[in-house]
């Protein structure tokens, strides 16, 4: 990294960043003088440069710093070595006054590897064109830092994400695909844990406060309406879309329409399993007569929320080659739909609340589960078996649909099998209780991931 600072007044080092007693000193001389004046521990020199592979394949070189902060705590910082100070990746953690310096630096390195190994952005043909590349937010979460634009005439700051700098307008184009969503911004003066508690809520912004409730069908059993004249699922979904068309931008409405169409396909393909008695008989007769959409034509709206588990927990994972945007939208749209059904008196409030919770979880978890499956698949490509699978003893071979039962940094347990080494980017995404279809082999005494199927949150 080229020098951006004057030489150290004590040793001549060309990276004197700190003013002490009116003179500029480097980190080593600063630590020596602070230690001599206060009796505090003489902090060691961090390793000069470390190369870390980023999620997009780049090799990023980091310089580390360890100094005493004026408050008496240890300050550990990491910044991209080949960028001017303030550009590129930059992370920091603090340690207590009596902390082990090596432990503080180790904590910082964990933060660096975790965050650099995770991409908040991904190139996408349909994304916002910025700097000659089209980018989109990879999941429903983005983290970085706010920085000076570098131009005193520009009032808006710039944003650094994945080590790349974007001006405020470019950042606006990045989040434009989330139009209609709610968001929560959390500001932190330390990069330790960046992204751990930030993210998009997963439901769209309500326009005009609580909004007007438009009674499309009236209350079930209300005066003037036959209590048995319950609208069909097809009628209800059509009415829901009418309301959404009035309140959403055209691009957002198109995504709603897409998810409702997928929901209808799921209900007609799998919903009949929940039917019993006369309903089951009526559906069977209509289906046998050639009506493949009999379920949504004959059944009432309570069957919609009853099948959220099937739609969000199976259909969107296994039956749809869904994009990350569709996975996010599935949670958003079904959450809105459940609330609207309750507002119209078409489903019980407690059933709607249960469905809303399931949809909210799906909006957060489905994109992450999809990315976990991708990371595990890439990992399996590096596994080489020493023999044909048929030659591996049965006790060293597992093919099953198993829950994730334990997670450590870079290691997962599937059911009773583990630990299984995985990339840190994968263990960071995983959640205990998620189910994964896996093929595992014990090679040289250690379990290895051979094949992976869908991840079910």
CATH number, residue 388: 2.40.50
Q: Are residues 355 and 253 in the same domain?
A: yes
Q: Are residues 130 and 75 in the same domain?
A: no
Q: What is the pLDDT of residue 4?
A: 64
Query: In this structure, are residues 14 and 2 in contact, taking their beta carbons and an 8 Å threshold?
Result: no
**How far is it between the farthest Cα atoms of the chain?**
92
Q: Alpha helices of 289-433 — where are they, by DSSP H?
A: 294-298, 302-306, 308-310, 324-343, 349-380, 424-429
Report the distance separating Cα 420 and Cα 422, nearest Å. Answer: 6
Q: Are residues 307 and 296 in the same domain?
A: yes
Q: What is the pLDDT of residue 450?
A: 86
The domain tally of the chain equals: 4
Q: What is the pLDDT of residue 51?
A: 92
Q: Is 261 a domain residue?
A: yes
Q: Is 215 a domain residue?
A: no
Domain edge (last residue) among 310, 343, 374: 374
Q: Are residues 345 and 271 in the same domain?
A: yes
Helix (H, G, I), strand (E, B) or coil at 139: coil
Q: Are residues 415 and 308 in the same domain?
A: no
Q: Are residues 350 and 249 in the same domain?
A: yes
Q: Are residues 89 and 41 in the same domain?
A: yes
Query: In this structure, are residues 411 and 427 in contact, taking their beta carbons and an 8 Å threshold?
Result: yes
Query: In this structure, are residues 101 and 66 in contact, taking their beta carbons and an 8 Å threshold?
Result: yes
C-alpha distances in Å from residue 199, one per residue of 113, 202, 310, 404: 20, 9, 26, 24
Q: Which two tokens stand for residue 388?
A: 């044909």
* Residue 142 lies in domain: 119-201
Q: Is 442 a domain residue?
A: yes
Q: What is the pLDDT of residue 118?
A: 82
Q: Are residues 189 and 300 in the same domain?
A: no
Query: In this structure, are residues 232 and 296 in contact, taking their beta carbons and an 8 Å threshold?
Result: yes
Query: In this structure, are residues 412 and 406 in contact, taking their beta carbons and an 8 Å threshold?
Result: yes
Residue 457 makes CB contacts below 8 A (sequence gap 6+) with: 313, 317, 361, 362, 365, 366, 368, 369, 431, 434
Q: What is the pLDDT of residue 237?
A: 92
Q: Is 246 a domain residue?
A: yes
Which residue is it, tokens 């999941």?
139
Buried b (16+ CB within 10 A) or exposed e, 348-378: eeebbebbbebbbbbbbbbbbbbbbbebbee
Domain edge (last residue) among 52, 82, 116: 116
Interior angle at CA 108, CA 156 and CA 448, nearest 5 = 115
Report the distance separating Cα 158 and Cα 320, nearest Å. Answer: 37
Report the distance separating Cα 410 and Cα 286, nearest Å. Answer: 52
Domain edge (last residue) among 374, 406, 431: 374
From 438, 439, 421, 432, select the one nearest 457 (Cα to Cα).
Answer: 432
Interior angle at CA 241, CA 318 and CA 365, nearest 5 = 35
Q: Is 5 a domain residue?
A: no
Q: Which two tokens stand for residue 204?
A: 């769209």
Q: What is the pLDDT of residue 120?
A: 85
- Statement: the pTM of the whole predicted model exceeds 0.75: no
Q: Is 6 a domain residue?
A: no
- Residues for the chain: how many in total? 457
Q: Is 1 a domain residue?
A: no
Q: Are residues 320 and 274 in the same domain?
A: yes
Q: Are residues 180 and 139 in the same domain?
A: yes
Q: Are residues 247 and 356 in the same domain?
A: yes
Q: Is 239 a domain residue?
A: yes
Strand ranges inside 47-107, DSSP E: 49-53, 59-68, 74-80, 90-95
Q: Are residues 131 and 185 in the same domain?
A: yes
Q: What is the pLDDT of residue 152?
A: 64
Cis peptide before 419 (omega within 30 of 0): yes
pLDDT in 10s for each residue of the chain, 457 residues: 445 678 888 888 877 877 776 678 888 898 888 888 888 888 988 887 899 988 878 899 999 999 887 656 788 888 888 877 667 888 888 887 778 888 889 889 988 888 888 888 888 766 556 667 778 887 778 888 887 776 667 778 888 888 888 888 888 888 877 776 777 777 665 434 333 332 223 333 333 333 333 333 433 333 233 434 578 899 999 989 888 887 777 778 888 888 999 999 999 988 888 888 888 888 888 888 998 888 998 888 888 988 888 888 878 777 776 677 788 888 888 888 988 888 888 888 888 888 888 887 777 778 888 888 888 888 888 777 776 777 788 888 888 888 999 998 889 999 988 899 988 888 888 889 888 888 888 888 889 888 888 888 7
């Amino acid at each position: 990294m080229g020098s951006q600072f004057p030489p150290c007044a004590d040793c001549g080092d060309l990276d004197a960043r700190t003013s002490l007693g009116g003179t500029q000193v480097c980190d080593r001389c600063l630590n020596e003088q602070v230690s001599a004046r206060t009796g505090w521990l003489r902090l060691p020199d961090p390793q000069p440069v470390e190369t870390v592979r980023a999620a997009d394949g780049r090799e990023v070189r980091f310089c580390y710093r360890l100094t005493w902060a004026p408050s008496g705590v240890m300050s550990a910082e990491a910044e991209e070595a080949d960028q001017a100070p303030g550009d590129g990746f930059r992370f920091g953690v603090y340690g207590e006054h009596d902390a082990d310096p090596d432990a503080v630096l180790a904590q910082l390195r964990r933060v660096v590897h975790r965050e650099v190994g995770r991409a908040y952005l991904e190139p996408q043909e349909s994304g916002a064109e910025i700097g000659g590349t089209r980018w989109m937010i990879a999941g429903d979460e983005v983290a970085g830092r706010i920085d000076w634009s570098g131009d005193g005439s520009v009032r808006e700051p710039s944003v650094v994400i994945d080590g790349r700098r974007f001006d405020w307008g470019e950042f606006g184009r990045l989040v434009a695909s989330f139009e209609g969503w709610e968001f929560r911004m959390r500001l932190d003066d330390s990069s330790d844990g960046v992204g751990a508690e930030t993210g998009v809520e997963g439901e769209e912004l309500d326009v005009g406060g609580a909004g007007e409730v438009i009674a499309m069908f009236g209350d079930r059993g209300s005066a003037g309406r036959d209590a048995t004249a319950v609208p069909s699922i097809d009628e209800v979904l059509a009415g829901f879309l009418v309301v959404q068309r009035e309140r959403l931008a055209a691009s957002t409405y198109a995504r709603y329409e897409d998810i409702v169409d997928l929901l209808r396909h799921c209900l007609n393909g799998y919903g009949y399993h929940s039917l019993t008695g006369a309903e089951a008989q009526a559906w069977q007769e209509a289906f046998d007569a050639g009506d493949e959409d009999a379920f949504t034509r004959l059944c009432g709206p309570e069957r919609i929320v009853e099948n959220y588990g099937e739609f969000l927990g199976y259909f969107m994972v296994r039956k749809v080659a869904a994009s990350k945007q569709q996975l996010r939208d599935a949670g958003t749209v079904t959450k809105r739909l459940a609330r609207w059904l309750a507002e119209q008196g078409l489903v019980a409030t407690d059933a709607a609340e249960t469905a809303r919770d399931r949809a909210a979880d799906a909006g957060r978890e489905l994109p992450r589960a999809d990315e976990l499956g991708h990371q595990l698949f890439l990992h399996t490509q590096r596994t080489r078996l020493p023999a044909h699978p048929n030659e591996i003893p049965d006790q060293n071979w597992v093919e099953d649909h198993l829950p994730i039962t334990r997670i450590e940094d870079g290691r997962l347990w599937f059911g009773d099998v583990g630990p299984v080494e995985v990339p840190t980017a994968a263990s960071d995404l995983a959640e205990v209780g998620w189910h994964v279809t896996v093929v595992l082999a014990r090679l040289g005494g250690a379990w290895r991931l051979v094949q992976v199927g869908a991840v079910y949150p």
